[in-house]
């Protein structure tokens, strides 16, 4: 676990700690495609590159790859889906789906915008 974790708002805690979900099409990164990195809102560990983001029309940011070692997969409490969490702090990110045929990699990380922060490539990343 990282030494320092960012303080979270009530809405951020609901998703990141309590494993909630933000409403579809409500997150700021759903239809956002600038160049840079997406980092964990709670611990700022880099999670995804903008080059791996795609428009899935599902209402949440979608990526077909993660930064190696940054994301852990766990069987969801519903026993069906696969939850994804930050490998550094265990903060809830969303779910991963395979076999949908949306990209050549055939995988979709469906991530809550509120679980991430964006760092522009213009900011030196």
- pLDDT tens for residues 2-39? 778 999 999 999 999 999 999 999 999 999 999 999 99
Q: Supply the pTM of this predicted model.
A: 0.93
What is the predicted pLDDT for the residue at 79?
A: 87
What is the predicted pLDDT for the residue at 17?
A: 97
Q: Which of 40, 43, 86, 110 is catalytic?
A: 110
- Asked if residues 48 and 87 have their Cβ atoms less than 8 Å apart, the reply is no
Boundaries of every domain in the chain: 10-123
CATH 1.20.1090.10 fits 10-123, yes or no: no
Using the predicted structure, report yes or no on whether residue 123 has a pLDDT greater than 80.
Answer: no
What is the predicted pLDDT for the residue at 16?
A: 98
Q: Is 58 a catalytic residue?
A: no
> Would you state the torsion angle of the CA atoms of residues 98, 45, 69, 30, taken in this order, to the nearest 10 degrees?
10
Least confident of 2-6, 59-63, 109-113, 120-124: 120-124
């Amino acid at each position: 676990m990282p030494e320092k974790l960012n303080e979270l708002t009530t809405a951020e805690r609901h998703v990141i700690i309590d494993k909630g979900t933000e409403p579809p099409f409500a997150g700021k990164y759903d239809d956002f495609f600038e160049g840079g990195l997406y980092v964990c809102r709670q611990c700022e560990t880099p999670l995804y590159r903008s080059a791996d983001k795609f428009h899935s029309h599902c209402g949440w940011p979608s990526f077909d790859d993660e930064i190696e070692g940054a994301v852990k997969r766990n069987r969801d409490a519903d026993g069906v889906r696969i939850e994804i969490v930050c490998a550094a702090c265990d903060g809830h990110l969303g779910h991963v789906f395979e076999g949908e045929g949306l990209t050549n990699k055939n995988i979709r990380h469906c991530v809550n915008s509120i679980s991430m922060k964006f760092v522009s490539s213009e900011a030196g990343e």
